[in-house]
Structure 1
Amino acid sequence: MKKRPALHPLAASLLLIGSGLSHAQTAAPPDAAASAPRAAKPSDKDSNDRTKLDTVIVTASKREEAAHKLPINIESMSEQKLREENITDLKSLIAASPGIDAPGNSARFTDSVTVRGLNISSVSANNVEWFTRSTLSYYLDDTPLPDIGLRIKDVARVETLLGPQGTLYGGGALGGTVRYITNRPKLDRTHARLSTSIYQTRGGGISNDTDGVVNLPLGDALALRFSFARLDEKGVTDRYACTPTYLSASPWKAKPDASQCLYKDDDWQKTNTGRLALLWQASPDLSFQLSYANQSQLAHGSSGAQLLPATGNPGRYNAPLAFDDQTVLSPYPEYTDRKIDLTTLEIDWRLPGARLHSATSGYSDSRVGQGDYLGTGSFFYGDLGYSRFRLGSGSWAGNTAYMTYNNQYRGTVHETRLVSDPGIWSWVAGLYLAEQKRSQQFSEWMPGLEPLKTPGRGRTDEGYSETQSSHYRESALFGELNWKALDRLTLTAGARVFAYKDRADTQVEDYAFDLVTGNIQNNEKGNGKSYYKFNAAYQLTNDLLTYATFSQGFRRGGANGFRAQGGQTVAPETRRYLPDSTDNLEVGFKGFLLDRTVYLQADVYRLNWKDPQTYFSQDVNGFPVWGTTNGPKAYSQGFEMQARWRVVPDLELNAATTYSEAKWDGTKTVCLYAANTECRTYEKGGKLGGTAPWKHTLGVRWSGGTDNGLDWWVALNARRIANKASDRGDSPDETVFSYPAYNTLSLRGGLSWGNWDLSGWVNNLTDTRPLVSFQGTSAVAQRVGLRAIYLTPRTVGLSASYRFH
């Protein structure tokens, strides 16, 4: 494992701050810091008026502003709402979001996340991480991360922004951004909270989720905040490890215990999360915060159900169950062991007329695991030459394959941002520096293979290994300028100018057949790349805004491991894949109506997608080498609407609906070799998968209280998800298997009295089990059957929380 990069931007930050420290000591007291987030709350004038809806405060624009006065599609969930809806991780947050999609897979997998229909990869469970292509970016406070696997604990709120955001966030965003805004240490009081939940999913054991936080002032200018969480989640899916009757011609030994066939409730997980933050208020205008976050997660097994072997589309997806709807077939145990570390130094400095915020972070994210390879291993090692490894073969030797993976991310990120005070002219200007080293490696193993290999090649019984690594560096200047042209009209122009270098290295080692072996290197760079934003916002009333936006987004490119064979050279444009970008055109309105008893937010958009990255593969004597290429231009268009209505002081209704349509908007033929052979054509009109065209939610919340301080609430929520294509279609006539439409209900309720908060919930109230994802390939379907993944069964839980003062 390579040494972690030094935080080289840190010294520059300290020198910048130190040069003006003496001036900071005498500056005027600061306004509320945009970088010091606080929980969403009602405005002062409405805080005691239960007949009106609350005003939500966010920092998406780098200032504390009311969400309904920001001309972007933004949704904010406060800490209280997150706890009410039991949202503790990104998967549950995405499930609750109307504009974002991801397959409902086990905790063991990393998902392809689709924003506003921007997806051209298969939406199914997969062990190999580079098959997933997220169009969503993730932030913990001001730090962009490769993937937010951190659980949502001790956060002030989560802000979800749809559309490219590169002129406000140094790391940029192709389709949208999710920001976790953590709670900061408080100087003025000592307090703590301890919370615990118990819950049970039908067919599984009793799970527990416990978390706590302690805030300690250490003096007038120093405070410490510590939070922790422990999740012990029991499984609901059984693993059958022995040979089933329909494969009795190829008996194998179960792992790890040959005498045990059934492993009950095998898809469990245990996760420990901790965060420590130290705040030093050096002066009224200058503060330093040092924080460290850590999470270790062991996610075991796979949810789903085994289907019988079948071929064809949709035949392999509609095959009968091999056992029942909560049992998978896997001779080998499956697991993912993930560890995340993040260290951040933040500096806030109040200057005359502006505020400077500096954040420097170092992070590491590792994902190590093992997956079963029964069907695919039989195809690769049995069909390609060794009949002793082919299921059903007369020379079957009783050995099955498994795979391992080891994915590592390490990097440093620095962002210095200067935000002006509000006025006729206001602005945001920033500097962004980032460096990331990535290594994604997986290997295939077939016990008994070693005597059949070329001597001295690979590790014992290792049949194949592939490593994709890269060293990426980026520097950017970004910002926005706002002009209040009229009393009600504000015009905004933004830009992001950046340079990047990406050195990619792909190493492929085929130890079994020596068919695909070698190293491919690629260097990409861009200087002076620019993306822009233009916005016009008109305040129809003090509480109602309309806006029009043009914004652009960007995602980095990379290299492939394709290689020359049979005298044919790989085409230069296929050796690598280019960065892709989006142009977002959006018109919307948002705000309060009917004396602030109704809130509406609606928009229509069209995203034009240039050089979209999509999967591509090379066939080497029946052996696939996977990669990525750039397809023709594509588009996604649709509308989004959210509404809240305070019917009476204690009753609130909420609803949301989204529609999206995404297709290829051009025709392009991509050829693997320079001689224009091994080509694939993407045709205009082919539909992009991964997003349900329609999503609807409807909820009602009834609350009240008594004179002795007892407050209570009850909420019922319904969701409707339309049919969703499981993959892209490469022509208008291609039919892709679609996951069926479904409805779900959830019921929640709680009460508060003194320092106690108690609540209960039922997810999937009607216990519906729609199909939501798959795991497996065509080869797997033919030999052992796919794994069908269904919506989690009915889950019932209780929570209790106590606040210490």
Structure 2
Amino acid sequence: MAWLLAGTAHAQTVAGAEAVGEDEIVVTAQKRQERLQEVPISVAVLGGAALDAQSNGGVSEALRNVAGLSLTNTAQGGGSQLTIRGVAANGATLAGSSTTAYYIDSVPFGLVKSAILPDTNAYDMERIEVLRGPQGTLYGANALNGVVRLLTNDAKLDRFELKGRAGVSTTKGGEASYRGDVAVNVPIVEDKLAVRLVAGFENAGGWIEQPNRGIKDANDQKSRNLRVKVNAQPTERLNIGLGVSISRIDQDSPNYANATNVQTTTVPLPQRLDYDAYSARIGYDFDGFTATSATSYLKFANVGERDYTAFGPLQTLHTDIRSKVFTEELLLNSTTSGSWRWSAGAFYRDAKDDLFQTLFLLPAPINFRDKSRSYAVFGQLTKAMFDGRLELSGGLRYFNDRVSQIEVTPVTGNPAQALARRTETFDAVTPRAVITWLPSRNFTAYASYSQGFRSGFNQSPTIIRSAPGIPPVKADRLHNYEVGAKGTMLDGALTFDAAVYYIDWNKIQQNLNVNLNNIVYAVTVNGTGASGLGVDLSLTARPVRGVDIGGTFSWNDLTLDDPVVTQTAGGPVTLYDKGDRLAFSPEYTASGFVDIGFPIGTMEGKLSGSINYRSKIPARLLSAGVVRRFISDAPLTTRASFALKAQNNWTATLFVDNLTNWNKRVQPATDFSQEFRLRPRTIGLQLEFGL
């Protein structure tokens, strides 16, 4: 595929991904370069060319096309929570950090307790890799059931590049939107030193009304992005890379409303999500192995207002989460051509989350600080046998995490109890074992066992003093048993990737009320587990020249092993029954696309269409001792576009997003008062150029 259209970034597309031959993609899912075809993991790849052509949104919009992956909106700053194979970060009751590890290059967004992830600008990416299933051995905590890796383009040492895109669109019942991005690559010293700069801006026009405030189109969102990368090759063996990625997202109001796209709030609800990510990579090619040091520093801020006018006029809850994360990883990879391959490494993280909340009912604000200092050592060994047709792999990781919580002003609002502290240490060993069969370059089958985990954390120090019998929250662990196959057929005209798996998730971190000495406390606990079978399937085909079709399908029956029971003043209440699905966990996801290319004189034309489906998701809320139940609708969204590409690398694309104007409930707002909804039908034009 020489180019793909605006509107859809198709999983496993070749465009924009590093290739070793025609239609062969190289990935680094196992932290070494390998053909995607030969990696014994269920991996989806989104190529950079398709991401550049995407008509709206950022990475989150592209990820909707990945089998088994779904996104949950958050009210604050346009962030999301990622769910792979039904393993939702919330478990059953909105608790715990992310179950999916999220990387921008070598920068992990591994926050101490928050599961909110940014909607990163998808322009000028080399590719996105989505690893389905636990990756605890190579990626550590938070890779409980998957990893999303955003790999941006490095600065090229040998040539000047300039490219950009600009787009404008209008939304049914809303404001106009516009965006612009530019990327420039400049060699400073030929073949030795280069710089790449990427900048972008997007104004996503609002479409939700706030009649009680007299405001139309109240949910405008503005995004600003800047990325700088430096690539140095002082010698043939030494490579140095530096990177800075800055993002600012400001939203006037969240995207929840009633069926007529109206918010009933009487107060402003601005949201903000910012991050600054810094990275340094040094790699050296020794005889027989490579050594790579990856250092990163992340500053993350998520700020927002929540409507609390039910407790008084003009009242809001102000929440401010600020995180700082420093990481260092040293990785050694073998490079010899024998039958043994190995990887070994060490990892260190120093992370801090500050939570500041202003509550109108309290005489002082609440301020918590969670800190984590962790280290890990890991390794993986592979033995190839029978001329490389069979491989046996094993891996192991040891992880140790010392976490503490300082309560500057506790929930009692009593400053005399300030500066309470609680510290705990958690550790884990996560193994991985794989058998891989490679009968040819065009087919791979594998069977694997792997584990993922999330670290534990502390209860509030105030609660510990009041109820010393309440234990800390231990790490939860997920076991995955999987068989899969991937390959190409019919001289490359058909590509497939299929996996069948069984999940056993133990001691899920959950927010519940517990009764201790006849007093009810709201705490986080290790609750019931969940288990179930699942299937992922991806297919792409080129039946004739110029026509590409494909689709993805995912199903899982991940359900609770036991009831989820919480306590109230009136006694125990069952939130979920045995066999219920987890909160925000869909049973099915599916997508499909078709691209039809044809010449128009000296230009190339292409028609494209796509469809995305996600099944209904459940949620529960305990309010005044009564369980409120929510079942979403099942989003079914369609897109269509027509693109015209000139020989001078100019492309114009006319697109329609949400073609059918689907406008039902995607998920509930935090208090279930209203529901998140998709942007209505949007029609636009996008121009792209490249030099």
Say yes or no: TM over 0.5: yes
What amino acid is aligned across from residue 301 of structure 2 in structure 1? S
Are 1:738 and 2:631 an aligned pair?
Answer: yes
CA separation of 1:405/1:369 partners in 2, compared to 1, >3 Å: closer, same or farther? same
Alpha-carbon distance between aligned partners in 1 of 2:118 and 2:175, rounded to the nearest angstrom: 27
Give the conservation status (yes or no) of the 8 Å contact 1:583–1:609. yes
User: 1:612 & 1:725 partners in 2: Cα distance?
Assistant: 17
- CA drift of 1:575 comes to 4.6
Deviation per CA, 1:168-220: give whole Å up to 9, x if none.
23556101100000111111111111211112221112111111111111113
Higher strand share goes to which structure?
2
Q: For 1:18-57, what per-residue CA distance to the aligned partner results, in whole angstroms no more than 9, with x for missing partners? A: xxxxxxxxxxxxxxxxxxx99415553x3xxxxxxx2222
- Structure 2 contact 73–81 (Cα < 8 Å) conserved: no
Structure 1 letter corresponding to 2:533? Q
Give the structure 2 partner of residue 416 of structure 1. Answer: 330
Structure 1 equivalent of residue 371 of structure 2: 471
Amino acid at match of 2:232: W
**C-alpha deviations, 1:524-568, integer Å up to 9, x for none?**
1135x3110000010133201110010111111112238569xx9
Shift of 1:769: 1.2
1:137 aligns with 2:24: no
Q: CA–CA distance in 2 between the matches of 1:690 and 1:750? A: 36
The one-letter amino acid paired with 1:119 is A
- Could you tell me which residue of structure 1 aligns to residue 6 of structure 2? none
Which is further off, 752-761 or 267-276? Answer: 752-761
* SS, match of residue 504 in structure 2: strand
The letter of the residue matching 1:200 is: T
1:564/1:106 CA distance change after superposition, 3 Å: closer
Distance of aligned partners of 1:711 and 1:619 in 2 relative to their CA distance in 1, 3 Å threshold = farther
Paired residue for 1:436?
351
Shift in CA distance, 443/646, structure 1 to aligned 2, threshold 3 Å: same
Q: Does 1:482 align with 2:453?
A: no
Residue in 1 that maps onto 2:159: 189
Which of 477, 492, 506 pairs up with 2:393?
A: 492
Instruction: Select the residue among 527, 552, 574 that pairs with 1:656.
Output: 552
Which residue of 533, 558, 564 maps to 2:432? 533
User: Superposition pairs for residues 97-246 of structure 1, below 5 Å?
Assistant: 97-104=66-73, 108-119=77-88, 121=90, 133-146=97-110, 147-169=117-139, 173-220=143-190, 221-241=192-212
Cα 1:564–1:498 change in 2 (3 A) is closer
Determine whether 1:348 maps to 2:263. no
The answer for the alignment partner of 1:426 in structure 2 is 341
**Match in the other structure for 2:8:** none
| Residue identity opposite 1:136 in structure 2 | T
Alpha-carbon separation, structure 1, partners of 2:396 and 2:424: 22
Aligned pairs (5 A) from 1:495-574: 495-507=396-408, 509=410, 521-527=421-427, 529-561=428-460, 563=462, 569-570=466-467, 572=469, 574=470
Evaluate the alpha carbon distance shift between residue 698 and residue 338 of structure 1 in structure 2; reply closer, same or farther with a 3 A threshold: closer
Check conservation: 1:656, 1:696, Cα contact below 8 A.
yes
Note closer, same or farther for the CA distance 1:521–1:721 as it changes in structure 2 (3 Å cut).
same
Alignment partners' CA distance in 2, 1:123 and 1:669: 11
Relative to 1, partners in 2 of residues 1:442 and 1:354: Cα closer, same or farther, differing over 3 Å?
A: same
Separation in 2, partners of 1:564, 1:651: 62
Of the structure 1 ranges 750-759 and 344-353, higher mean CA displacement relative to structure 2 is found in 750-759
Kindly provide the amino acid, as one letter, of the partner of residue 553 in structure 2: T
Pair member with larger Rg:
1
Corresponding letter in the other structure for 1:181: L
Residues in 2 aligned to 1:624 and 1:796: alpha-carbon distance in whole angstroms? 53
**Partner residue, 1:19:** none
Cα pair distance change 1:154/1:681, threshold 3 Å: closer
1:732-751 CA-partner distances (Å, limit 9, x unpaired): xx994321234221112322
Tell me the distance in 1 between the aligned counterparts of 2:101 and 2:419. 30
CA distance in 1, matches of 2:515, 2:304: 27
Cα distance change of structure 1 residues 793 and 107 upon mapping to structure 2, 3 Å threshold: farther
Give the counterpart of 1:330 among 265, 268, 280: 265
The match for 2:669 is 775
Deviation at 1:351, TM superposition (A): 1.1
Secondary structure at 2:359 match in 1:
strand
SS at match of 1:167: helix
Do the aligned partners of 2:633 and 2:665 also contact (CA within 8 Å) in 1?
yes
Question: Counterpart of 1:103 in structure 2: which amino acid?
Answer: T
Quote how far apart the aligned CAs of 1:109 are.
Answer: 4.7
Report SS of the residue matched to 2:64. Answer: helix
Distance 1:661 1:738, change over 3 A: same
Cα offset, 1:303, TM superposition: 2.3
Q: For structure 2, which runs of at least 5 residues remain unmatched after alignment?
A: 1-13, 111-116
Cα deviation, 1:357-382, whole Å, max 9, x if unaligned, reads: 1111111111223232112xx2xxxx
Equivalent-residue separation in structure 2 for 1:631 and 1:340 (angstroms):
33
| Counterpart AA for 2:381 | L
Tell me, yes or no, if the aligned pair for 1:170 and 1:415 is still in contact at 8 Å.
no
Whole-Å Cα distance in 1 between the matches of residues 328 and 141 of structure 2?
Answer: 10
Match of 2:114 in 1: none
**The residue matched to 1:605 in structure 2 has which SS?**
strand
TM-score (norm 2): 0.89
Question: Residues 616-627 of structure 1 correspond to what in structure 2 (within 5 A)?
Answer: 616-617=512-513, 626-627=522-523
One of 659, 677, 680 as aligned partner of 1:793: 680
| Rounded Cα–Cα distance in structure 2 between residues aligned with 1:668 and 1:770 | 29
Is residue 76–residue 272 contact of structure 2 (8 Å, CA) maintained in 1?
no
Q: Is the 8 A contact 2:373 2:401 kept in 1?
A: yes
1:101/1:690 contact within 8 Å kept: no
Structure 1 match to 2:9:
none
**Gap change, CA 1:769 and 1:265, over 3 Å in 2:** same
- Quick check: 2:421–2:461 contact (8 Å CA) kept in 1? no
- Would the aligned equivalents of 1:167 and 1:478 in 2 still touch at CA under 8 Å? yes
Secondary structure at 2:542 match in 1: strand
Distance (Å, rounded) in 1 between the aligned partners of 2:89 and 2:652: 43
- Describe the superposition over 1:270-328 as per-residue Cα deviations: whole angstroms up to 9, x where unpaired: 1211011222211011011122111222111122324xxxxxxxxxxxxxx6xxx1110
Counterpart in the other structure of 1:263: 215
Q: Give the superposition deviation at 1:84.
A: 3.3
Task: Work out which of the residue numbers 29, 53, 57 in structure 2 matches 1:84.
Answer: 53
Kept in 1: contact 2:325–2:352 (CA 8 A): yes
Match of 1:282 in 2: 234
| 1:114-163 superposed Cα distances (whole Å, 9 cap, x missing partner) | 22111373899xxxxx8574311101112211334432222101111111
Equivalents in 1 of 2:483, 2:668: separation in Å? Answer: 36
Do residues 721 (structure 1) and 685 (structure 2) align? no
- Decide whether the 8 Å contact of 2:378 with 2:397 is kept in 1: yes
Question: In 2, are the aligned partners of 1:772 and 1:789 still within 8 Å (CA)?
Answer: yes
Secondary structure of the 2:62 match is helix
- For residues 133 and 662 of structure 2, the distance between their equivalents in structure 1, rounded to whole angstroms, comes to 33
Calculate the TM-score normalised by the size of structure 1: 0.77
Q: Which residue of 1 aligns with 2:7?
A: none
What CA deviation, in whole Å up to 9, does each residue of 1:647-689 have, x standing for no partner? Answer: 101111101111111222246878899xxx9797976434323
Shift of 1:515: 13
Count of residues in correspondence between the two structures: 662
Deviation at 1:407, TM superposition (A): 0.6
With 767-776 and 261-270 compared, the bigger mean Cα shift is at 767-776
In structure 2, C-alpha distance between the alignment counterparts of 1:670 and 1:97, rounded to whole Å: 35
Q: Distance in 2 between matches of 1:434 and 1:604?
A: 34
What SS is found at the alignment partner of 2:558? Answer: strand
Equivalent of 2:529 in 633, 650, 662? 633
Tell me which moved more, 175-184 or 634-643: 634-643
CA RMSD of aligned residues (A): 3.1
Q: Taking structure 1 as reference, are residues 689 and 371 closer, same or farther at Cα in structure 2, changes over 3 Å only?
A: closer
Deviations 1:694-726 (A, max 9, x none): 222222111134673x22322111223222223
* 1:219-272 CA-partner distances (Å, limit 9, x unpaired): 13111111111111211111133xxxxxxxxxxxxxxxxxxx311111011121
Shift of 1:104: 4.6
CA distance 1:468–1:579, shift in 2 (3 Å): farther
